[in-house]
Amino acid sequence: MARLNLLEETRFEKLPVTVYSDEYIASVKVAQRIAELIRYKQGRNEKAVLGLATGATPVKVYAELVRLHREEGLSFRNVITFNLDEYYPMQPTAVQSYVTFMNENLFDHIDINKNNVHIPDGTLPQERIHDYCLEYERKIEAVGGLDLQLLGIGRTGHIGFNEPGSAPNSGTRLVTLDDLTRRDASRDFGGKENVPRKAITMGIGTIFKAREIILMAWSGKKAPIIKKAVEGEMSSDVPATYLQLSDNVEFVLDQDAASELTRFDTPWLVKDCVWDDSLIKKAVIWLSQTVKKPILKLTEEDYNNHGMAQLITEKGTAYEINIDIFNKLQSTITGWPGGKPNADDRRRPERAEPARKRVVIFSPHPDDDVISMGGTFIRLVDQGHDVHVAYQTSGNTAVWDDDVLRYMEFAIDFNKSIGQESDHLENIYEDMRSFIENKQPNQLDSQEIRDVKGFIRKSEAIAGARYAGLEDDHIHFMALPFYETGKTVKKPVTDVDVELTMELLQKVKPHQVFAAGDFADPHGTHIVCFNIVLAALNRLRETEEWAQDCWLWMYRGAWHEFATHEIEMAVPLSPQEVERKRNAIFKHQSQKDYPVFPGDDAREFWVRAEERNRETAKNYDDLGLANYEAMEAFVRWKF
């Protein structure tokens, strides 16, 4: 089913929510609704007035509207548009401007009259903005108001740029952007310091006047704020909660964005459930964490008092369920991530045979391997497995410019020290220095600078893999073409990316593949790289016998961790192994202290990794399992 629980409402949800299986289907459905409105208005010889949003969320909606125009004759001649917002100050020709965004994603590809397009003007003198905003409101009213308003939602809960503290009756105005909003935009601007501090936005009161409001959200990154907006109390701290007052609003979500809503996260609190093994495991762990008791100490009263009476009625006593879940959790723990030789492996996460496995660890960036699974990496090598590591991208956008100059200065000095001519290097160095001094935000680096940044990360990756115990011929640099643009926005994946991955897999013929399943990566590189690995394995499974027996394990750690109920293999680390993992991470000096793209987490990567690994171990301890120093967690992909 593409559309989930269409009419299902719960006592927790305070406004209508429709959930689709993925953002592609959801975007097509939203585009179809817009098209229906346009055609309906055309039939009445009326204008369709649309409020439009920007950002990643509506991109596929606009792509579908363009397709409908090109392939099905949808005309936009009768459409008037008003965009929600624009950065201030902002030139309309700037790459980051919403004028550029709307032209590239929609307006340049349809037959709309450009006189009917309205986007806030980011070039005005500040003293003129107040009057301009009043006129923006008057223009909306003059055409009869908004028929339909598209919205995304920021992680602060902002709609448009109505940040926390905005009033529900606010109009179009100049606002100051929240620090989190600016951080989220930093990649587009080449750093947070380049993101404008202000924006012009329609107000919440303006949005409320629309006859129909559709708020869209995709991905698990939006799940926490969606839960607050849909189930939380109305508050200026989360401006989107004001939409609970509207009779004309609908939230359109994909499964990941909806995942923390009560009906999906803890469905036993809402209705009777179909209790399969995975839901029982999740519910029992949740109950243990909620009442703060080890699993084996949970009582029937605990189950009854927390919405789980149906479970013990259908599946046995609390004692029996506790024992079953405890044993299942116990069986996920293994000190043998490649399988324990000559052991009964029926309850172990990995197969015992072959005793010496061929392993490929795919690392999207040159440090994800040691950050996310460095302890397991080292243990696989120590236990005699034939381990290869494959760095899928160069990571060359994530190196500071001054590191490039430092390495060039080293190369020049070294050349001179061995009596080599260095004039050519010095000329390149001067060109680099001049380029960097005059570099504009998010400007593409010169090829020489990109090369040096790639070399820096390559040398660090080699040092980390060697420290883990690999020989040089087991260290592979793939330089997948989709990434090698030098830009933060990458090219689409092509068959070349998949074929290069297939070639490496065919060469090694692994029994085990480890790949990053950390899809909260703010750069989006992890999920792209994972999908390339998955596509390669799926193709090979059609013709290669070894691929049928190749297991794919997903790891996380750099950005967040698997929930305890999801974990299928937990590899415990001793204090000494934690230190070895830390030392491997330290080889990546360019990413230490403060990386170019740190995301929301201000901690250094090695600190994040250690604290997440210790938290995983503590979760197991709290549930009544053995108390380890740290744990790395894995989930097996089911083909």
Query: pLDDT by residue (tens digit) across 420-475?
Result: 999 999 999 999 999 999 998 778 899 999 999 999 999 999 999 999 999 999 99
Strand order in the sheet with 48-52: 3-4, 17-20, 249-254, 213-217, 148-151, 48-52, 79-83, 117-118
pLDDT at 40 over 50: yes
Residue with tokens 């409320």: 208
pLDDT at 600: 65
What per-residue confidence (pLDDT) applies to 221? 87
Please state, in angstroms and rounded to a whole number, the distance separating the CA atoms of residues 98 and 531. 30
For 524-541, the pLDDT digits (tens) are 889 999 999 999 999 999
Element (DSSP H or E) covering residue 19: strand 17-20
State the Cα angle at 635 between 631 and 636, rounded to 5°: 135
Residue 77 predicted with pLDDT over 80: yes
Q: Give yes or no for residue 362 having a pLDDT over 90.
A: yes
User: Would you say residue 320 lies in a domain?
Assistant: yes
Q: What is the pLDDT of residues 99-131, one digit of tens each?
A: 999 999 999 999 999 999 999 999 999 999 999
Residue 598 has a pLDDT of: 67
Residue 164 lies in a domain: yes
Predicted local distance difference test score (pLDDT) of residue 356:
97
DSSP for 221-234, written as a single string: GGHHHHHHHHHSPP
* CA atoms of 111 and 156, how far apart (whole Å): 35
As given in the structure block, the two tokens for residue 599 are 């995301």
Q: Do residues 251 and 297 both lie within one domain? A: no
pLDDT digits (tens, 9 = 90+) for 485-528: 656 566 789 999 999 999 999 999 999 999 999 876 656 889 99
- Residue 352 falls within a domain, yes or no? no
Kindly give the pairing relationship between strand 173-176 and strand 148-151.
unpaired
* CATH number for the domain that contains residue 139: 3.40.50.1360
234 shares its domain with 112: yes
* Distance, C-alpha 535 to centroid of its chain: 19
Q: What are phi and psi of 194, to 5 degrees?
A: -95, -5
| DSSP bridge partners of 363 | 391
Looking at the fold, whether 298 and 196 belong to one and the same domain comes out as no
pLDDT digits (tens, 9 = 90+) for 372-422: 999 999 999 999 999 999 999 999 989 999 999 999 999 999 999 999 999
Q: How many helices (H) and strands (E) does the chain have?
A: 21, 18
Q: Does 7 have pLDDT greater than 70?
A: no
Distance (Å, rounded) from C-alpha 465 to C-alpha 85?
47
Same structural domain, 570 and 526: yes
Does the bond joining 354 to the residue before it have cis omega, within 30 degrees of 0? yes
Q: Which long-range contacts (CB under 8 A, 24 or more apart) does 620-623 make?
A: 620/329, 620/333, 620/564, 620/570, 622/288, 622/289, 622/292, 622/294, 623/285, 623/288, 623/289, 623/294, 623/295, 623/326, 623/329, 623/564
**Statement to judge: residues 274 and 244 lie in one domain:** no
pLDDT value at residue 557:
67
Say whether pLDDT at 174 is over 80: yes
Reply yes or no on whether 163 is catalytic. yes
Residue 5: pLDDT over 50? no
Average pLDDT over residues 82-94: 96
Decide which of 260, 277, 312 is a domain's last residue: 260
Residues 36 and 175 in one domain: yes
Predicted pLDDT at 244: 96
Task: Indicate whether 198 and 298 sit together in one domain.
Answer: no
Q: What is the DSSP letter of 395?
A: -
Last residue in a domain, options 260, 278, 293 = 260
* Same domain assignment for residues 32 and 80: yes
Would you say the C-alpha torsion 105, 526, 521, 16 has a positive or negative sign?
positive
Question: Which residue from 628, 577, 607 is spatially nearest to 374, judged by alpha carbons?
Answer: 577
Are 198 and 107 in the same domain? Answer: yes
* pLDDT score recorded for residue 1: 34
Are 166 and 137 part of one and the same domain? yes
Residue 150 falls inside a structural domain: yes
Tell me what the pLDDT averaged over the chain comes to.
94
Range of the domain at 481: 358-400+444-637
**What percent of the chain shows pLDDT beyond 70?**
96
Assess if residue 51 is contained within a domain: yes
Helices of type H across 558-599:
575-586
Distance from C-alpha of 595 to C-alpha of 591, rounded to nearest angstrom: 5
pLDDT, one tens digit per residue, over 235-275 is 999 999 999 999 999 999 999 999 999 999 999 999 899 99
Query: Is 236 in a helix, a strand, or coil?
Result: coil
Domain boundary (235, 260, 285) is at 260
Residues ≥6 apart with Cβ < 8 Å to 163: 156, 175, 176, 177, 178, 181, 239
Same domain, 28 and 117: yes
pLDDT (tens digit per residue) in 129-140: 999 999 999 999
Q: What are phi and psi of 240, to 5 degrees?
A: -65, -20
Mean pLDDT of 220-246: 95
Side chain identity at residue 418, one-letter code: I
Nearest Cα to Cα of residue 332 among 115, 17, 635? 635
For strands 512-516 and 551-555, give the pairing: parallel
Which residue in 619, 606, 605, 524 sits closest to 567, CA to CA? Answer: 619
* Dist. CA 564–CA 623, nearest whole Å: 10
Angstrom distance (rounded) from CA 457 to CA 477: 11
Q: What is the pLDDT of residue 184?
A: 84
Phi/psi of residue 483, nearest 5 degrees: -90, -30
163, 231, 260, 577: the catalytic one is 163
For residue 52, being part of any structural domain is answered with: yes
- Res. 573: pLDDT tops 50: yes
> Do 391 and 518 fall into the same domain?
yes
- Residue 4 bridge partners (DSSP): 19
Q: Is 422 a domain residue? A: no
Kind plus residue range of the DSSP H or E element containing 89:
none
If one counts the domains in the chain, the total is 3
